[in-house]
Amino acid sequence: MSSGDFVLDPRLAANTQPVVTLPMCDVLLMDDARYAWLVLVPRRNGMVEIADLSDRQQAELWQEVGRVVAKLRSVTSCEKINIGALGNIVRQLHVHVVARNQGDAAWPGPVWGHGKAEKYESSRRDALIGRLQRALT
């Protein structure tokens, strides 16, 4: 399957903005101003579990996650990074990388399923995307 045929899950597409394209994954920003929250989606249709990837693909995915973790940390100066691969609702394989800070909306609990997203004011969102793009490319 070439990456040209890749179809992003419509629920991910509806709640995110594209940031950058890494060799394996699309990196998306969740449209939720409560946290700086990125999602990596390997451009492979039909993948659900990390274990559906070959060992080599898993290594490549985690390498890209590591790169995103480092850059999100430096761009946001956050206190903690949370990484999660859940997929209980949206089954298409995706990995969350979230910048967390004491006192944020869900602290110290997980962000998934906590309250309702608060959409970004668009200039603030675009500024963050710009900073992430410069860090990640």
Where does this chain bind a second copy (CB under 8 A)? 48-51, 55, 58-59, 62-63, 65-66, 69-70, 73, 80-89, 100, 107-110, 112-113
Q: How far is the CB of 86 from a second copy (least distance, A)?
A: 5
Query: Which is closer to a second copy, CB of 7 or CB of 70?
Result: 70
Contact call for residues 45 and 9 (beta carbons, < 8 A) = no
Q: How far is the CB of 104 from a second copy (least distance, A)?
A: 10
Under DSSP, the state recorded for 131 is H
> Least separation, in Å, of the C-beta of 20 and a second copy?
18
Q: Is 98 helix (H, G, I), strand (E, B) or coil?
A: strand
Residue 120 Cα distances to 16, 23, 41, 116, 124, angstroms: 11, 28, 21, 13, 7
* Closer CB to a second copy, 15 or 17, in the complex: 15
User: Which tokens in the block code for residue 99?
Assistant: 């910048």
Question: Length of the chain, please?
Answer: 137
State yes or no: cis peptide before 18, omega within 30 of 0: no
CB 91, min distance to a second copy, A: 8
Q: Which is nearer to a second copy, 33 or 87 (CB)?
A: 87
